[in-house]
Structure 1
Amino acid sequence: MAGVDTIKRGGSRFYVDPDDGRIKVPGVTGIVGMAPKDFLTYWNAKLVAETAVEHRDTVLKLAEKDPAGAVDYLKGAPRRYTKVASDLGSAAHDMFERQARGDTINPRHIHADIKPHVRWFDEFLQQIQPEFLHLEETVWSDAHQYAGSFDAIARIEGEVVMIDWKTSKAVYDSVALQLAAYRYADRIILAETRESIPLPAMTGGAVLHVRPEGWALHPMTCDEEVFAAFLHLRGVFDWEREGKKGVVGRPIAKGGEVATGTQRRAA
């Protein structure tokens, strides 16, 4: 499927309007990423400390030969952990989409790390019997200039809901912002034809949380109030990328002695 083209700029993903390549809007994930994440400071520090303790022999040997390399190894621990989790999540998502579409999957082609996830997703399908209306499509907001790719819109027990499947350790409240952004976008751009169609009316959202030990379907509040919070972050995104540039002017008066970098280092 062709889908909507994306580009990376300054670490953020932008979607390219298929009708006018000059128009590029930020992705939902990047906008939601503007929300404060104070817990990450503790998590990063904890992971670095755990790496130092669990691999102390390796770290000590490396520190003797290459102190800077040892520092890089330790500070890179959060990045390496995140990449492994991201790769697993991407592989699981690919399988979930195939399962949702009813594709035949050869068990030998399933990576050992996600076999439990595939099993539990199949159990979800059998038990809940969702009717999928759309899978892995792109939404676009003309009114607020953003876009994003959702996992599924499905009818469950008569209600149409936006669903996001997660393989993370927990279901985080920021997913509500993500689902609200998808729900209140203006249109869906179909991957196969790039044709735009309206989003169906929805009663809410849900997260299908799939872990190696089992699965759970969590209802998520993604109403207009949550969407309003997302729009605040949309403004913060613009501030961080462009708005804050040049807000600090050159001094119109100053006094005292300002040390140069060389003087500070010498001191």
Structure 2
Amino acid sequence: MTIQTTDRGPRHYFDTTAPEVRYPGVTNIVGMLPKQFLQRWNANMAADYAVENSDILPRMVERDPKAARQAIAGAAYRYTKKRSGIGSEAHDLFERLIRGENIGRFQSQDMVPYVAHFREFLDAVNPELVRAEDVAWSDTHRYAGSFDAILRIWLDEKNAITADRSGTPYLAMVDWKTSKSTYPDVALQMSAYAYADEIISPDGTREPMPEFDLACVLHITDSEWEFLPVDIDRDTVFAQFLHLRQTWEWDTKLSKKVLGSPIAQKSGAIQTGTQRRSK
């Protein structure tokens, strides 16, 4: 038995021995949050592109108006695609580093500061790797998702890191982020992983999800890094994630069934007796 994902459209996870049972991915469920700010951000990205390319846009419009329009409208998409590529490459390197692999000079030049900052994190925190890049699976609430890492870290009585591991050990669900900022919805994502029923390894081995002492996000950019605690309270944060799970159900399934066929509707134009007799 292995777990696979669908990559066309919203991601779903399924067991190859029972492919008819497909659970939505955690990040897609969290994506149900309203994001009104994105409309303004998309508009600003398009406006910035138009201003920055004002010298060549007239020629683009004259030569191919459709292509010029697509270039302006696609500014936000190109930015997010580039950031996604950076994030994927960084996550791959972080996993290699946390597993103790010597990555040498294989990373691209863009990755040099990310790798340096991750190494600083390893030196400053000295975590013990418990699991990495496995699947959190919930039959109870019907979702799944791939988490970044489960780490054991050591804290003193003031909740400060003890890199020499002299403090108290804590089991932490950890997420790596390479976005411009750390956003609150990471708490929803991490609570879903932490309160899933099981962990599924690449070979299909299942074991119960452990109880966590805390959750943390490691935010790394090309200029800085920080390791932050994240509130994943079951009664508040995870409960909000479950509300979004119901919103997913509405958006992808129930909303497509609630409108029935017309039981009355406009017919053809009425023809009066006077109109019939005049023919």
SS in 2 for 1:172: coil
Listed as ranges, the matches of 1:110-149 within 5 Å are 110-149=107-146
8 A contact 1:5–1:18 mirrored in 2: yes
- Structure 1 distance, partners of 2:268, 2:247, is 36
Query: What letter matches 2:7 in structure 1?
Result: K
Query: What letter matches 1:156 in structure 2?
Result: I
Larger Rg: 2
8 A contact 1:150–1:182 mirrored in 2: yes
Partner of 1:36: 34
Q: Name the structure where helix makes up a greater proportion of residues.
A: 1
Partner of 1:240: 251
8 A contact 2:14–2:21 mirrored in 1: yes
Partner of 2:63: 65
Listed as ranges, the matches of 1:153-164 within 5 Å are 153-157=150-154, 158-164=169-175
Verify: 1:205 aligned to 2:215, yes or no: yes
Question: How far is the alpha carbon of 1:251 from its aligned partner?
Answer: 4.2
Listed as ranges, the matches of 1:35-54 within 5 Å are 35-54=33-52
Question: How far is the alpha carbon of 1:38 from its aligned partner?
Answer: 1.1
Verify: 1:77 aligned to 2:68, yes or no: no
Quote the RMSD (CA, aligned, Å): 1.8
Listed as ranges, the matches of 1:160-179 within 5 Å are 160-179=171-190
- Structure 1 distance, partners of 2:127, 2:24, is 30
SS in 2 for 1:105: coil
Give the TM-score of the pair, scaled to structure 2.
0.87
**Unmatched runs of 5 consecutive residues or more in structure 2:** 155-168, 270-279
Farther off after superposition, 91-100 or 65-74: 65-74
Task: State percent identity of aligned pairs.
Answer: 45
8 A contact 2:2–2:15 mirrored in 1: no
8 A contact 2:134–2:148 mirrored in 1: yes
Question: How far is the alpha carbon of 1:252 from its aligned partner?
Answer: 4.0
Partner of 1:196: 206
- Structure 1 distance, partners of 2:94, 2:23, is 27
SS in 2 for 1:163: strand
Farther off after superposition, 249-258 or 139-148: 249-258
Paired residue total: 254
Query: What letter matches 1:236 in structure 2?
Result: T
Query: What letter matches 2:114 in structure 1?
Result: H
Q: Which has the higher contact order (CA 8 A, sep 6+)?
A: 1
Partner of 1:183: 194
